Amino acid sequence: MASPFVEVLTPDGQQWTVELVGERILVGSSPSCQVVIDRAEIAREHVLLSPRPDGCYVAIARGAPTPVMFNGVPIERSVVPWGAELFIGGVRIQLKNSGAPGSAEAKPEKKKDDKPSPVILGAAVVGVALLGYIMLGGDGETGVAKPRGEPPAMFESLERTCQAGDQERALSQAGEFARQAAAKAERMPFRTQDGVEAVSLFANAASCFRVAGQNERAQREMASAQQLKDRVEREFLNHRFRLERAIEQERHADAVVEVRLMLNFIEHRPGEYMTGLRNLERRLALQVDRAQAQR
C-alpha cells in the first residue's frame, strides 16, 4: 500500500515529493528531519506531521521564525484535510493522500474476477481472530469501549524549593533551568513529554530566581509554568474527547491515533489507566485489522 506524501515547492522553482512514512514526520532545515527544506525561513525542526485517515495532524514548533499558513490563517495545531496546502513564507507544502489508510484513493476498484476465494477470506478472518485471542490474553474479547476510570494527574504542585545555598548559585541554577525549560517547551509539538518536563523546569527556575532576589523574573517563570501546564492538560482532554467520539462512531483507525497520542502525554505516569489505554490500543488495532481483512 502506497504511503501519503508531501509535495514541496520553493519560491525558486525547486519541487520534490517525500513519502510520509511513520506516525511522526518532522519538517525542517535539519538533515535529521524526514522532510528537509534548507531555507532561512524554515527552523531546524519547524513542523510535525502525523498522517491520519481523516487528514493530517499538523503541529508547529513553538517559536518557529515563520508562521505556517492554512487557508490564509496561521495555525499552531490542527488536523487539515488531505489535498490541503500549507505555506511557510514562500514555501508551499501540499499534503497528498495517495494510498493513506482508509482513503478513497487507497481502495483500488475491484474487478469481479478479483474477489478473494471464500476459503482464503475465511482463513484470514480466523487468523485475525486468533491473533486477537493471543494479543488480548486468551479471553477472546474484542469489543472496544471508552477507557474506564479517570487518568492520573499529570503534574504535582508547581511549588519548588531551590537547592542552591546562596544567591549567586541560585541565579546560575535559575538561568540554566529557564534555558532548559524554553528549549523543551519549543519541542513539545514533536515530543509531548518535553512539554511535560518543561513545566517542572519553569517552576524550578521560578524558585531559584526567588532565592536570588529576582522576584519579577520568578513571577514570569511561574506564569510560564502555569500556562504550559494548562495547555498540556487541555490538549490531553481534547484527545480524550476525540477518542470517545471516535469509539462511539466506530472510527477505529482514528481512535487508535488518539489512544497513542494520549499515551504520549502520560508515559511518565504508569499505572492502571495507562495499562487500560494500552489494552484498548490493541483491541482497536484488532478491529482495524479485521475490517481490512474483510474488504
pLDDT tens digits for 249-276? 888 888 888 898 899 999 999 899 999 9
Position 119 scores a pLDDT of 46
Residue 281's alpha-carbon distances to 21, 138, 148, 262, in angstroms, are 20, 16, 13, 11
Position 103 scores a pLDDT of 39
Average pLDDT for residues 8-36, to the nearest whole number? 91
- Inform me whether the pLDDT recorded for 127 exceeds 50: no
Mean pLDDT of the residues in the chain = 83
Rounded to whole angstroms, the Cα distance separating 147 from 173 reads: 41
Task: For the sheet with 15-19, list strands across it.
Answer: 15-19, 5-9, 91-96, 85-88, 68-70, 73-75
- Cβ atoms within 10 Å of 233's Cβ, excluding its own: 16
pLDDT digits (tens, 9 = 90+) for 129-147: 444 433 444 334 445 677 7
Position 70 scores a pLDDT of 95
Return the C-alpha cell found at 86. 500549507
pLDDT digits (tens, 9 = 90+) for 200-258: 999 999 999 999 999 999 999 999 999 999 999 998 998 899 899 889 888 888 888 88
Q: What residue segments make up the domains of the chain, in order of their start?
A: 5-96, 115-295
Q: Is 36 helix (H, G, I), strand (E, B) or coil?
A: strand
Reference 191, options 244, 232, 239; nearest CA is 232
Rounded to whole angstroms, the Cα distance separating 178 from 252 reads: 41
CATH of domain 5-96: 2.60.200.20
- The upper half-sphere exposure of residue 24, i.e. CA atoms within 13 Å in the direction of its Cβ, equals 13
The pTM is what? 0.65
- The upper half-sphere exposure of residue 242, i.e. CA atoms within 13 Å in the direction of its Cβ, equals 19
Q: Which residue has the higher pLDDT, 151 or 125?
A: 151
